[in-house]
Amino acid sequence: MKALVKTQKGVGFIEVREAPEPVPGPGEVKIKIAACGVCGTDVHVWHDTFPYWPPVILGHEFTGTVVDLGHDCKYYKPGDRVVAEPHTKACGVCHLCRTGNIQICPEKRSPGWGIDGGMAEYICYPERLLHRIPDGMSWDQAAVVEPTANVVTDMIERTGILAGDFIVILGPGPIGLLAAMVARAAGARDVVIIGTPGDEALRLKKARELGFNKTINIAQTDPIKAVLDMTGGIGADIVVECSGAPKAIPVTVDLVRKRGKICVIGLTGNRNVEVPWDKFAFKVVDVIFNLSTCYTSWDRTIHLIHSGAVPAEKVITHREPLENWGKVFDDIENLKALKALLIP
């Protein structure tokens, strides 16, 4: 079968290769891949800035149809359309696994970097990590369940957004835009999306197309003054940090209200961040850090997307065959793509 493979350690070393078709082991199903989203993780593996075990097939945001079963499969059958939690190799016995946090088990090695992923014609996958998708759900919708489930975990399950909340989002990339949609679905009274001049042409424009009219380009408008004006001088109930930018992160505390919450989603790529610590203390804010997806967020996300409450598929800008991965990765880096799908 065809597969997009990181062939060895180092910067680069990605190619489309012929790979052996996988055979399902006990408890595994074989899935014919319909689409696989490109995530920042895949780009980091390309640049050698994320751990990985080569040679490895890229991609963890995949969806497809079950075509075969290994021994001892109980819950799925050929023809089922599925999406998959990327929590493979979690040990099942450590403190985190036993407390329901397999997504941050130290043994976890996800598809796309730890084990072979979904940028291929087929993948074999443990059925305990699958979720069925409804008949009427499109492959586009299914392919964006994983990134959306991240935002649902972070904002709904962990930060506890409430109907009527005033939300500010920093960083209008795919995750920031998904965060805005989830905030709206959760009943936010207003969602302000803040970006840089580089975000104007595609990302902030897309935000407005999605109906978020309160976009702020920091080169044109002072975001702190604007948010205080919009909230009667109080500040936002929740600030969602999706930029990972060391310059933006300290501003979160100026945007949030006293006793408000800062939901941290973006990563800096190991850059240090200087923050006005005492300001956080005097504002008595809750800062909620996040990583990966909780089991419970998946079916919630599938329903939100399928019902149209979160039209997550609207962040898709590219659908390309595996062979065009180079252009797709370039476009992502140059802010010319939001979410890209590779179709094997």
Can you give the binding site for Zn ion, defined by CB under 5 A?
A: 39, 90-91, 94, 97, 105
Q: Diameter of the chain by CA atoms?
A: 62
Q: How many CA atoms lie within 13 A of 81 on its CB side?
A: 16
Q: Which residues contact residue 106 at a Cβ distance below 8 angstroms, ignoring those fewer than 6 apart?
A: 91, 94, 96
- Show the DSSP H helices in the chain as ranges: 40-46, 95-98, 139-143, 145-151, 174-185, 205-209, 223-230, 252-255, 277-283, 295-306, 325-333
Helix (H) or strand (E) holding 14: strand 14-18
Minimum distance between the CB of residue 116 and Zn ion, rounded to whole angstroms? Answer: 16
Q: Which is nearer to Zn ion, 3 or 175 (CB)?
A: 175
Q: Which is nearer to Zn ion, 73 or 105 (CB)?
A: 105
Minimum distance between the CB of residue 147 and Zn ion, rounded to whole angstroms? Answer: 5
338 exposed, middle or buried (CB, 10 Å; 0-12, 13-18, 19+)? Answer: buried
Minimum distance between the CB of residue 47 and Zn ion, rounded to whole angstroms? Answer: 16
Minimum distance between the CB of residue 89 and Zn ion, rounded to whole angstroms? Answer: 9
Q: Which is nearer to Zn ion, 50 or 76 (CB)?
A: 50
Q: Which is nearer to Zn ion, 149 or 192 (CB)?
A: 149
193 exposed, middle or buried (CB, 10 Å; 0-12, 13-18, 19+)? Answer: buried
Q: Which is nearer to Zn ion, 90 or 239 (CB)?
A: 90
Minimum distance between the CB of residue 273 and Zn ion, rounded to whole angstroms? Answer: 22
Q: Which is nearer to Zn ion, 39 or 193 (CB)?
A: 39
Q: Which is nearer to Zn ion, 91 or 281 (CB)?
A: 91
What are the distances in angstroms from CA 138 to CA 37, 135, 156, 321?
14, 8, 24, 18
Minimum distance between the CB of residue 61 and Zn ion, rounded to whole angstroms? Answer: 5
Minimum distance between the CB of residue 107 and Zn ion, rounded to whole angstroms? Answer: 5
Q: Which residues contact residue 93 at a Cβ distance below 8 angstroms, ignoring those fewer than 6 apart?
A: none
Distance, in Å, from the CA atom of 229 to the CA atom of 302, rounded to the nearest integer, reads 36
